């Protein structure tokens, strides 16, 4: 049975000195209450992440915290890309509605063993997930977590050059976060791709590693030329950062796809190269990434969530955006947080600019992932 209540509490600081960051966050959370905290910091604050967390635990009387470092943070106050920043959300959730986790490739299996009865009650929980892309077991950990706990993951890959870039019980772990029961706390999620499909879906019929020779029995390069039209045919370099490859996600009812870079063209041999190994039989399509497409899809995601929310109140939210988005793709007149607030209203919101985004059981690129608590 789901429960609802008043809004969560959030705080944001852009102080340049970490001691001042702690003081400002604690000041804004002075009268806050909650039993689960989320903290996101910019990469330069990572060396003092534990100090900030310890003070927040003391000042808020909340012991359970999740967190990660990124290229900057987002909140309902604004977007702070590439600058010293921190944001925190204090969630007031029903007792027993969440379980903290951290681990490596067998994380999900271990949770299933230790929390079997809880998982039986919390059917398909939301897994707020932070993952370290430097750890070799991270992809397996994400897959195992989703499959073994029957969870729907939302989160992101951390962005940090050193230290432990996410909050876990031990440094060097692949993933950390919390499972939240949908039976006790209603959560809705949305995904903004930031790209627009510009072709039909093709089947790869001849390939080797990351090279595509043929699709649907035709030269891959010829199909690409037909797709892009006149705009890029006389200067292929202009396609960089605009034309991408997308892989449809099998079984998705929302036409979801993961985006990968187009890394090479060979007009003479009529082949293309992709930033991921592929196999014969795989499906792909071409998509376009630009400011207009990104803004349009942000509105689509936000308006779809608004329809699903109906007349319910939003208590708080988490938004994870790709580092390639933010000011690199949105203008000041149509930023991601602004679009969310325009469509869904102003509510406590935290997030960070990630190295990759996690939704369901997939690692995405160039996307924005939003979760709202009702």
Could you read off the pLDDT of 216-233 as tens digits, one per residue?
Answer: 999 999 999 889 877 777
Q: What is the mean pLDDT of the chain?
A: 91
**Which tokens sit at 3?**
């429960």
Region of residue 16 (phi > 0: left; psi between -120 and 50: alpha; otherwise: beta): alpha
| Residue 333 banded pLDDT, cuts 50, 70, 90 | low
Closest C-alpha to 278, from 199, 324, 214: 214
Least trusted range by pLDDT, from 25-34, 325-334, 365-374: 325-334
Domain boundaries of the chain, sorted by first residue = 9-192+294-373, 196-288
- The CATH number assigned to the domain with range 196-288 reads 2.40.30
Sorted by sequence, the CB contacts under 8 Å of residue 134 that are 6+ apart come out as none
Could you read off the pLDDT of 81-107 as tens digits, one per residue?
Answer: 999 999 999 999 999 999 999 999 999
Angle 110-114-116 (CA atoms, 0-180°, nearest 5)?
Answer: 105
CA distance 218 to 366: 29
H, E, C per residue of 216-245: CCEEHHHHHHHHHCCCCCCCHHHHCCCEEE
Least trusted range by pLDDT, from 37-41, 72-76, 110-114, 195-199: 195-199
pLDDT at 1 over 60: no
Q: Quick one: CA torsion of 25, 337, 34, 72, rounded to 10 degrees?
A: -50
| Residue 3 banded pLDDT, cuts 50, 70, 90 | very low
Q: Can you tell me the mean pLDDT for 112-138? A: 94
Of 199 and 330, the structure prediction assigns the larger pLDDT to 199
Q: Quick one: CA torsion of 152, 373, 123, 302, rounded to 10 degrees?
A: -50
């Amino acid at each position: 049975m789901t429960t609802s209540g008043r809004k969560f509490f959030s705080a944001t600081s852009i102080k340049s000195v970490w001691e001042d960051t702690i003081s400002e966050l604690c000041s804004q959370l002075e009268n806050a209450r909650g039993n689960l905290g989320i903290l996101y910091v910019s990469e330069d604050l990572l060396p003092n992440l534990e100090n900030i967390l310890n003070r927040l635990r003391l000042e808020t009387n909340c012991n359970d915290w999740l967190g990660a470092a990124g290229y900057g943070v987002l909140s309902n106050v604004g977007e702070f890309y590439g600058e010293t920043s921190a944001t925190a959300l204090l969630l007031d959730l029903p007792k027993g509605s969440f379980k903290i986790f951290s681990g490596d490739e067998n994380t999900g299996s271990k949770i299933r063993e230790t929390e079997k009865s809880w998982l039986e009650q919390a059917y398909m929980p939301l897994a707020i997930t932070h993952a370290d892309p430097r750890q070799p077991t991270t992809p397996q950990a994400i897959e195992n977590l989703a499959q073994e706990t029957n969870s729907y993951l939302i989160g992101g890959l951390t962005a940090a050059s050193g230290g432990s870039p996410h909050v876990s019980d031990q440094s060097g772990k692949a993933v950390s976060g919390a499972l939240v029961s949908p039976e006790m706390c209603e959560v809705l999620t949305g995904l903004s791709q930031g790209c627009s499909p510009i072709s039909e879906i093709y089947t790869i019929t001849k390939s080797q590693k990351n090279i595509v020779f043929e699709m649907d029995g035709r030269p891959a390069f010829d199909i690409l030329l037909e797709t892009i039209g006149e705009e890029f045919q006389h200067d292929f370099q202009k396609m960089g950062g605009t034309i991408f490859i997308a892989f449809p996600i099998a079984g998705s009812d929302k036409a979801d796809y993961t985006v990968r870079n187009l890394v090479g063209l060979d007009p003479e041999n009529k082949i293309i190269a992709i930033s991921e190994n592929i196999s014969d039989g795989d499906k792909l399509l071409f998509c376009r990434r630009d400011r207009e497409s990104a803004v349009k899809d942000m509105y689509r995601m936000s308006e779809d969530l608004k329809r699903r929310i109906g007349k319910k109140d939003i208590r708080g939210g988490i938004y994870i955006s790709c580092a390639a988005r933010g000011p690199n793709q949105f203008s000041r007149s149509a930023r991601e947080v602004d679009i969310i607030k325009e469509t869904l209203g102003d509510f406590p919101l935290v997030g960070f600019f990630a190295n990759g985004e996690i939704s369901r059981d997939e690692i995405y690129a160039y996307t924005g992932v939003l979760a709202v608590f009702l």
